[in-house]
A and B are shown apart, each in its own frame.
Chain A
């Protein structure tokens, strides 16, 4: 075998992600956020007059659309208006505006950094992503997609709810640093057809057709299809410069093609949601040691999710919801090493159900109990050189079962105590996992909230970490070209204990200030380390402990005319508890983050402008140190008639966000780019 080796990134860095992919899995919970709100009881309603009743929000059975005041966690919501006005192209774009969040694009996936911790090594596996309560993190790599690889067009999103802090007491696996719940629009919000088209930098085109309606008989549905194509930026990899290519240019190595379908329907007590997305993408820059700038390097992610739900108020004080789901994930990689092609197919599919009851029978208590079961019928991964016998092949059939219970006890009108816990049994780990949570919400004055939360969360080892095994590759003279991988069946789940204190104050009608302090103690964290003194093989191990601590300060203002101001400063720090002997997987800490979002009408109500700014401090990752950046996006939205939106956005106006950590010289970013978009409804 002849292997040419231009490595943009150290093999150890990307190895785990390598033959990867992601997918979807899910289970769910209809509860949008971990704490249920206190619903008014009958006697309370009986004393209210009609004017007061008109102001009361409805809770339909099990659909707890609650305010952040009812949640001991810290919640940020990004709604469809903001997605439109700021020109967000992906969920990742939207998450850049969440306090403590940043996005690291490694040219394969958009990875979410949370509270200083980069997740490029875990494919967002330390964050739970859900679409309408359906778990998106797939059961092979755990990846929680937020980029163009997410099987959902952002135009179909009604809002994104981000809960910072642990969520395992309700959701189990992966709800480690945060929970991101994406809630899609309803057919009623379309009441007809909508066509959208956009054109952007790097010959990027995207088109969408949607049709939604609510009929008089109660049937509501939404159908949508999206396709996009991008030639991708020409990226420069100075590490790979040669005399014939002095700048290390990779022309269109990051091309990207997607197809996405979405369907949603509800009728009476039943609702259905399903989607499929497939993305084909070029692999730029000789990642994994593939041939540099070889257009045949490519990979594909395809995911599907289907969910059928039934929810009903069985008794006046008991809501029931039951959900059955199906999901599949498919990944294919074609990587060129010299004249040979490495193929890395991966397939998984799963089904499951989630049953949940919410009881308000006991005075002052809202009790949630549920069981969440997922059977992964197939988790198949293969590595082989084209035309040859696979050198690695593994098939698994696993399951996980979780039971959870939560009680929100309204001790007084000012004080809420929330107790919750969940037991998880994963068939691949011997121990049962217990995730407790304790929250206190105190409202001393109408506009003041103090929240205290303690929670434990976990991430279970996945089949890649437990079973992937292959031999090292040696070149001429027995030089090691790429290390091998050893399986590790004895991995335990990694866990985090989080203590969080937050203070919220509303003032002058339009303003809200939130300050949050946190301390996270991570233990048994997964890391890939050398398994032998000669570094010929890598293996996943449970490493030592790590502490993350910091604070976030947010200020928000909102006015009737649609003007919005959000600004936040976040500080994050990390400390290794055992003297750095275990590698640096998590230590790409960005200590300072400043964010600003302004949305305002311009000239007249037909015109709106958006300004977005993110400043992140320097980061280190393995060998590379990457300078901080100031990323500014400017948007303009014009609505000449009610049926038509025309929008334009320039991203990274100052062309300052050019490198993300990785490799020796960093991973190039696209820099300044633009998009024009038209939405037409009829």
Chain B
């Protein structure tokens, strides 16, 4: 109906958010390929693959990886931690704290989340909070624009 989409399935939208974060984050060395990993049960279906295929170009090749064990994490540039692995999340994040991996979660909670970016629902739309301290510790730089768009920066 609309020329611009007014609504979308939750995880299609979250996949698009994940890609967009990569635009506003700079790693110590520009990654190519850029590995976007999903840790735990993937809620994305094939969405992430399709989206990254569409976004890949000669400058950056985007790849999606899915895994259940925290062994291969070191190769990730963006790590999305699925709700299925929330329980073991804190231990993993502590281990990764100083590595340049952008950690993202999608927890609906009022408590501060240990990941760098937490996507959550707000008034039927998605928004996100940024954990600046965690980003600095990992040596990742974030474009000011991302900070202004965030719901909360701490």
Contacts and interface: CB of A to CB of B under 8 A. Distances in A.
Interface of A: 37-46, 48-61, 65-67, 69-70, 191, 214, 216, 218, 313, 315-316, 410, 413-414, 416, 441, 443, 446
Contacts of B6: 37, 40, 55-57, 67
B126 interface: yes
B149 interface: yes
14 contacts: A40-B7, A40-B8, A41-B12, A42-B51, A42-B54, A45-B8, A50-B149, A51-B149, A53-B13, A56-B126, A59-B10, A69-B1, A413-B1, A416-B1
A579 B6 CA distance: 51
Nearest to B125: A57
For A46, A66, A315, which residue has the most chain B Cβ atoms within 10 angstroms?
A46
Interface in B116-144: 121, 124-127
Interface residues of B, number: 42
A504 to B, nearest CB: 13
Given A53-B13, A216-B111, A218-B108, A58 B126 contact: yes
Given A316-B47, A416-B1, A39 B11 contact: no
B142 to A, nearest CB: 12
A46 B54 contact: yes
For A40, A55, A58, A410, which residue has the most chain B Cβ atoms within 10 angstroms?
A58
Contacts of A218: 83, 108
Interface of B: 1-13, 15-17, 19-20, 23-24, 43-47, 50-51, 54-55, 83, 107-111, 121, 124-127, 146, 149
A443 B4 CA distance: 13
Given A58-B125, A58-B126, A216-B111, A39 B20 contact: no
A49 B12 contact: no
Contacts of A65: 7, 124
A57 B7 CA distance: 4
A38 B54 CA distance: 21
A58 B16 contact: no
A44 B47 contact: no
Contacts of B121: 58
Given A37-B6, A49-B20, A54-B127, 6 more contacts: A57-B124, A58-B7, A60-B9, A67-B6, A316-B44, A414-B1
Given A39-B12, A59-B7, A216 B51 contact: no
B144 to A, nearest CB: 13
A45 B5 contact: yes
A46 B126 contact: no
A49 B17 CA distance: 9
Contacts, number: 126
Instruction: List 10 A-B pairs, minimum CB-CB distance, nearest first.
Output: A40-B5, A316-B45, A45-B16, A40-B8, A57-B7, A50-B20, A216-B109, A46-B54, A58-B10, A42-B50
B5 A44 contact: yes
A56 B45 contact: no
A214 B121 CA distance: 13
A46 B124 contact: no
A55 B125 contact: yes
Nearest to B11: A313
A40 B47 CA distance: 12
Contacts of B9: 39, 58-61, 313
B8 A59 contact: yes
A313 to B, nearest CB: 7
Nearest to A57: B7
B12 A40 contact: yes
A414 B125 CA distance: 24
A446 B1 CA distance: 10
Contacts of B54: 42-43, 46
Contact of B107 (A55, A60, A61, A216): A216
Contacts of B55: 46
Contact of A53 (B1, B20, B44, B124): B20
A676 B146 CA distance: 48
A48 B2 CA distance: 14
Given A39-B12, A46-B16, A313-B9, A413 B108 contact: no
Nearest to B16: A45
Nearest to B124: A57
